[in-house]
Structure 1
C-alpha cells in the first residue's frame, strides 16, 4: 500500500528548498531537495530535475511523470496565455510553415504527442483528415477536447502510449515542446517508428545549450529545469531508428526572462526498420 504523503510537511520542505536555491545556497538547497524526495519518492515537485540543473544530482532519463502531470494540471487554464502570449511560443505555427514551404502533406492520420491544449491540432487541422492527441495532464486534455479539434484524445504518458498502441499507424507524428521534458530519446524515437507508416513524417522541437555548456553530453538539464539536447545526438538517434533527416532548423523556442531559448525544429521521414 502506497505511503500517504503529508502534504503540509512536503509543501514546507519544498518551499524551503526552493528559497535556498533562489538565494544561491545550492549545497544547502540540494540537501533540502533530497529531504523532499524522501517525503515524496514519486517527485511531484520535480526535485530530481532541480538537483540536476544545479549540478548536485545525476541527470535523469526524463522528468518524473508525477511532476509533469502536476505541473501542467496546475497551469492548464492559463497555459496558452503564459506560453503563447507571454513567452512567445509558436512552434506549431513554425511546423505548419515548414510543411507549406517543403510542400509536405496533406496527411491522413496525425498523432499529436503531448498535445496540451491543442495548439498543434489547431495549427495543422486543415492539413490532416484524422488527429489523435494525448497528454499526461487530464486538465490539458479537457481543454483540448472542448476545442473539437481531435477525433480521438487520450490521457497518457508519451512513451507508454507508443509502447501499448495497437491501432492503425500514422503518417504524421508531431511532438511540439515534448523533448524538453525527456532526456534520453531512444524510447520515444523507437516508439514513434513503431507507430508510423513508411514514408511518414516526424516533426518535433527541442531546446539546446551552447557547446561550452553541453560539452560532450548528449543531453542535460538546463538552468530552467528543462532538458537540452545536442544536435548530433538528435541526428544519431533519428538515424538509428530508421529516419532520414529532411531538415533541422535553428529556432527560438520561447523567451525566458526576456532572453531567447535556442533550439531546433526537426522534420524527418521514416524509411522503415
Structure 2
C-alpha cells in the first residue's frame, strides 16, 4: 500500500514525509523517524503519518514508540484503513484478531487494482488460478451450472472458469477491482460483498471458488458454514491458503496475511459438512524474492444426512434471491 498517497493536506508536511521516506529507504532510520515526527508536528491528526512513523520506529528497534504511533493511527481511524491493528497484534500489543479489518482489505485492493494483474502474474509469479483449475479438473467435472468466485478481484480466476461454467458470478469487497473485472466481460453477474459479513450465497451454485482470499480472513469457520448451507450434495468448494506448518491453527505473518495449517483446514471443512477431495502443497507466488507455499484445496459438499451446515447462521439457512 502506498501510504504517502494519503496526503496530510499540508504541503510542507507532505514534503517532509517524502524526504523522511527517502531517508528510511536509504537506511538512515533515526533521521527518517525524526523528520516524520516533524511532519506530524505540523499535522498531528494525519493517520498515514502516524502509521509511517510506526514503521520507521519499528525498523529502528524502538518498538514501544512504534506501538504508540500505530495506536495513534488507530484512534484517528477506527475503521483501520491502513491495518494498524494488525501491526499492533504482530508486536504483541493486541490480541484476539481473527481477520484483517474490512476497511484495510478494501483500501489495499482499491489501491492495487490498476496494476494488479501485471504485478501479481508477471512480477510475483502468481499461480493460484492455474493450480485451482487443475485441481478442480481432477474431480471429473467438466461443466458447472452456476459458479461463485469469492474475492474475484480483477477476474483472474474467472477467466479460467468461464469455459466450463454456464453462469459465473463474482464477489469482491473492492469496487475498483470489480470495475476491472467488469471490463473483462468474464462474469455474468458481479456484486460488492464483504466476506466477513456475508449472510448467504446463491442456492443454485454448484461450485464456489476463493483464489488467494482467505489469507485476509483468518478465521474461516463462519464462512465455511455459509458456503456449505448454499451448496447441494456433490457440489465443489475450491480455494487456496498460505500454508502454516506449525501447531497453531493459523498465524498472522509479518506480511499481515494469515497462514493456515493443514489439520485445521481439514477439521474446519469436516465441521461444515465437506469432505476434502484433494489438498496439495504448492508454491503459489513469490514475495520479496521468497517462494510462498500454499495449500490448494478442493472439497465436496456431503449429503444432508451428515448434518451439513448445522453451524451456519440463521440468515444462511433461508432461501433468498441472489444479491445484485
**1:265 aligned residue (296, 300, 309):** 296
Instruction: Please list, as runs of the form range in 1=range in 2, the aligned pairs for 1:27-38 lying within 5 A after superposition.
Output: 27-38=64-75
Deviations 1:137-181 (A, max 9, x none): 0000000001111111001112433x144x433100001111100
Find out whether 1:191 has 2:229 as its counterpart: no
Distance 2:237 2:95 in 1: 30
Distance 1:82 1:54 in 2: 29
Structure with more relative contact order (C-alpha pairs < 8 Å, separation 6 or more): 1
Deviations 1:56-85 (A, max 9, x none): 321411110100010000110001111111
**1:209 aligned residue (244, 266, 271):** 244
Quick check: 1:251–1:262 contact (8 Å CA) kept in 2? yes
The structure-2 alpha-carbon separation of the partners of 1:203 and 1:164, relative to structure 1 and needing over 3 Å to count, comes to closer
Quick check: 1:59–1:221 contact (8 Å CA) kept in 2? no
Query: Cα distance, 1:7 vs. partner?
Result: 6.8
Distance 2:49 2:294 in 1: 35
Equivalent position of 1:234 in the other structure? 265
Deviations 1:181-230 (A, max 9, x none): 0111111101111121221000000012342xxxx321121121100111
Contiguous gaps of at least 5 residues in structure 2: 1-5, 9-45, 309-324
Distance 1:262 1:191 in 2: 27
CA RMSD in angstroms, aligned pairs only: 1.6
Structure with the greater alpha carbon radius of gyration:
2
Distance 1:55 1:253 in 2: 29
The structure-2 alpha-carbon separation of the partners of 1:73 and 1:223, relative to structure 1 and needing over 3 Å to count, comes to same
Query: Cα distance, 1:51 vs. partner?
Result: 2.0
Query: Cα distance, 1:97 vs. partner?
Result: 1.5
Equivalent position of 1:3 in the other structure? none
Quick check: 1:209–1:222 contact (8 Å CA) kept in 2? no
Structure ranking higher in strand proportion:
1
Distance 1:169 1:19 in 2: 50
Equivalent position of 1:119 in the other structure? 156
TM-score of the aligned structures, taking structure 2 as reference length: 0.77
What SS does structure 2 have at the residue aligned with 1:168? coil
Quick check: 2:249–2:260 contact (8 Å CA) kept in 1? yes
Instruction: Please list, as runs of the form range in 1=range in 2, the aligned pairs for 1:29-48 lying within 5 A after superposition.
Output: 29-48=66-85
Equivalent position of 1:129 in the other structure? 166
TM-score of the aligned structures, taking structure 1 as reference length: 0.91
Quick check: 2:148–2:170 contact (8 Å CA) kept in 1? yes
Aligned residues between the structures: 262
